[in-house]
Structure 1
Amino acid sequence: MEAVTAAWERYAAGRTPRRTRNAAGAATWLNWTQYADHGPDESVIGGVEGRRVLEIGCGSGCNLAHLATLGAQCVGIDIAPSQREKAEKRWGHLPGLSFRTAEARDFLAAHPDSFDVVLSIFGPVWFTDPTTFLPLVRRSLTAGGVFAFSHKPPQTDRRPGERLREARAVARWDHSPHEWASLLAGACFTNITATVIDPPKGACEGTLLVRAETERHRLVEAVGTNESSGR
């Protein structure tokens, strides 16, 4: 784990801070893709006012800060300690927004039924074995909760779980839209969409965007199962 944390610290150190204003002049915005001023906005996850939102791999907090300005109660976690410092320095003045240093799986396991929305933008979903990670995400969501994430489309020359050349301590799971849909269905998510957003003019690589929900009657069903088994 120390090697993984160190790898993400090195990555964070090389990141350029987000602009103070986007092309539309906004001070906060949500960007799912690797390109500036491109792709869909927060409408992917629906209205967020009054909802509890968790971003895993929040980095310096810019995407989550935007949701806080829309009235969401937001928590951002990142494994790199320096990211929390950056996030709090830039966005600590916003109400309803907090940041923590945590490993994603540990945090999710400790917070069942805690969030209405979980999102990850080029975050841990891409770098964690989905067979263990997706069930943890699902358990952290309330009934009818939304899970959304984005990352680059799969590379044909990389196998799922293969180590990154630039960060040997970190593995990456490259899956196609169809594969992600199958994995999410296997983890009991519903209303799954997985598509590749076309890149802007002049760029050659799109962005994979995935959205899914938990069952709206999941908690009722779980209680009924426990009662029938005598638990």
Structure 2
Amino acid sequence: MTEAQAWDTYSKQRPERRPTNAAGENTWFNWTQYPDHGPGAELLGVGPGASVLDLGCGKGGNLAHVATLGARAVGVDVSLAQVKAAESRWRHTGMTLHRTEAIQFLKESGERFDAVFSVFGAAWFTDPTVLLPAIRQRLRPGGVLAFSQRPPIEGCYGCQGSYINRSEDEDPLVVKRWDHEPERWVEILAEHGFTAATARILPAPPGHRKIGTLLVRAHG
């Protein structure tokens, strides 16, 4: 089974984003795995007229919010199911979607971006030694790279296996992910020419499991 088919399977398991959030908003930005929690799109530092790229845009909820801010919102996802879901719900926002791999898009696109982001997306599931140089080629000088994912399991760093469950009669699908501690992410970003890098773990909101969210930000 291909990587695209694995993420198609994942898409079927993920619920649609709620019609509105706790504040009654139709679009919003969520870096974490918990609803109505954590910072928002202000971390990207963009406004009307900016060009923003989402790597692994999924069903498009975060990208749709970026589009409502007046930015040119471009999303990439390898899963046809995810792209179709994003188009079905958010086409009216004017976002542009591409069904392709993140690396392929970055290498073939001639567009430059003011910000690149990934929320539990391609930045987690792509080798950073390949992805980061490709992002820098597409990021305007001083542009922002930001991404979020689950923190690493203690002692399990680098390339790891991540399971996508199927039915009880089928073996789970396996995709690769890259886990590092916050301090190591800062070092990796510096090694690839990024500046002002920060990485921190946002605690889970009260009443939830104790797993927080790793949030990384740097300038190109």
Taking structure 2 as the reference length, the TM-score comes to 0.92
Tell me the distance in 1 between the aligned counterparts of 2:28 and 2:64: 8
Q: Give the gaps of 5 or more residues in structure 1.
A: 215-231
The amino acid of 1:111's aligned partner reads S
Alignment correspondent of 2:189: 184
Tell me the distance in 2 between the aligned counterparts of 1:186 and 1:113: 24
Deviations 1:67-115 (A, max 9, x none): 11110001111000011111111111123x1111010000011125511
Tell me the distance in 1 between the aligned counterparts of 2:206 and 2:174: 34
* Structure 1 residue 48 displacement after superposition: 2.3
Tell me the distance in 1 between the aligned counterparts of 2:57 and 2:111: 20
Taking a change above 3 Å as real, the CA distance of residues 178 and 30 of structure 1, as seen in their structure-2 partners, is: same
Report the number of matched residues.
Answer: 212
* Structure 1 residue 143 displacement after superposition: 1.1
Alignment correspondent of 2:120: 122
The amino acid of 1:140's aligned partner reads R
Tell me the distance in 2 between the aligned counterparts of 1:144 and 1:195: 21
Runs ≥4 residues deviating over 6 A: none
Alignment correspondent of 2:27: 28
The amino acid of 2:107's aligned partner reads A
Q: Percent identity between the aligned chains?
A: 46
The amino acid of 2:137's aligned partner reads R
Please state whether the residue corresponding to 2:199 is helix, strand or coil. Answer: strand
Please state whether the residue corresponding to 1:127 is helix, strand or coil. Answer: coil
* Structure 1 residue 141 displacement after superposition: 0.5
Trace 1:131-170 onto structure 2 (pairs within 5 A).
131-156=129-154, 158-166=156-164, 168-170=173-175
Residue 200 (structure 1) aligned to one of 205, 215, 218: 205
Tell me the distance in 1 between the aligned counterparts of 2:4 and 2:48: 33
Taking a change above 3 Å as real, the CA distance of residues 212 and 172 of structure 1, as seen in their structure-2 partners, is: same
Tell me the distance in 1 between the aligned counterparts of 2:203 and 2:88: 34
* Structure 1 residue 49 displacement after superposition: 1.5
Do 1:112 and 1:141's aligned partners in 2 also have CA atoms closer than 8 Å?
no
Deviations 1:118-159 (A, max 9, x none): 000000111111111111111111111110000011112534
Tell me the distance in 1 between the aligned counterparts of 2:216 and 2:47: 18
Taking structure 1 as the reference length, the TM-score comes to 0.88
Trace 1:27-46 onto structure 2 (pairs within 5 A).
27-46=26-45
Question: Which structure is higher in strand share?
Answer: 2
Residue 104 (structure 2) aligned to one of 85, 103, 106: 106
Alignment correspondent of 2:218: 212
